[in-house]
Amino acid sequence: MTGHDELLRLVAERVAQESSADLTRATPDQVREAETALGFPLPPLLARLYQEVGNGGFGPDYQLLPLIGEGRTVVGSYQAEYVPGQWPSGVVPVLDWGCGMYAAVDCTDPRGPVLLYEPNAVEEDWSIAWYEDAESLAAWLHAWLSGTGWYEEEIMMSEDASDPTPWPQAVNRLT
């Protein structure tokens, strides 16, 4: 057993409770194909999430994009969004919040920090579009499971709601 086994079990249980459809899982070959297309490996938990829970279609609000396959995917979205100086290398969009906003996982760190990309007020300095959402994919999933993510209406509307924290690595990662 690894440290993520219990977390993946809890995510799978929630997905089973909330979804009427049986989610297709990504195969190990599809994960390798995605990593080859991206040009870098996925953090271990992200790869396991797609292989053991489902190839997208679950998670907070708008749900995770499929890793690979038909239609809009993580791989296709990364290839469309990655622009040096605007989108950092190795950061894959995993969830589209709408209005150009994404939840994205930094694949250069094995913990898979989750970032919020919010480009709507940006004119020139793209580093101000990037925020820390969670220090790791595991923490982000725990927030979803416990209903404590910033995107929860009760959290967003509370008097003590805080502004997102700028991603300190943004300037360096975009240059």
Tens-place pLDDT, residues 12-48:
999 999 876 678 999 999 999 999 999 999 999 999 9
Task: Examine residue 89 and state whether it is found in any structural domain, yes or no.
Answer: yes
Task: Examine residue 157 and state whether it is found in any structural domain, yes or no.
Answer: no
pLDDT per residue over 53-71, tens digit each?
A: 999 999 998 899 999 988 9
Task: Examine residue 159 and state whether it is found in any structural domain, yes or no.
Answer: no
CATH of the domain at 36: 3.40.1580.10
Task: Examine residue 174 and state whether it is found in any structural domain, yes or no.
Answer: no
Instruction: Tell the residue number behind the tokens 């982000």, with chain if given.
Output: 140
Task: Report pLDDT for 1.
Answer: 42
DSSP-derived secondary structure letter, 136: S
- Biggest CA–CA distance in the chain, Å, is 47
Domain span holding position 37? 5-146
pLDDT per residue over 112-157, tens digit each?
A: 999 999 999 888 899 999 999 999 999 999 999 999 887 887 766 7
Task: Examine residue 32 and state whether it is found in any structural domain, yes or no.
Answer: yes
Task: Examine residue 166 and state whether it is found in any structural domain, yes or no.
Answer: no
Answer whether 104's CB lies under 8 Å from 64's CB.
Answer: no
Task: Report pLDDT for 52.
Answer: 96
Q: Which tokens hold the place of 155?
A: 């959290």
- Residue of 170 and 164 predicted with greater confidence: 170
Q: Which tokens hold the place of 16?
A: 């089973």
Task: Report pLDDT for 173.
Answer: 96
Task: Examine residue 161 and state whether it is found in any structural domain, yes or no.
Answer: no
Task: Examine residue 153 and state whether it is found in any structural domain, yes or no.
Answer: no
3-state secondary structure 22-86: CCCCCCHHHHHHHHHHHCCCCCHHHHHHHHHCCCCCCCCCCCECCCCCCCCCHHHHHHHHCCCCC
Domain count across the chain: 1
Residue 58's region, left for phi above 0, alpha for psi from -120 to 50, else beta, is beta
**Position 49, amino acid:** L
Answer whether 165's CB lies under 8 Å from 132's CB.
Answer: yes
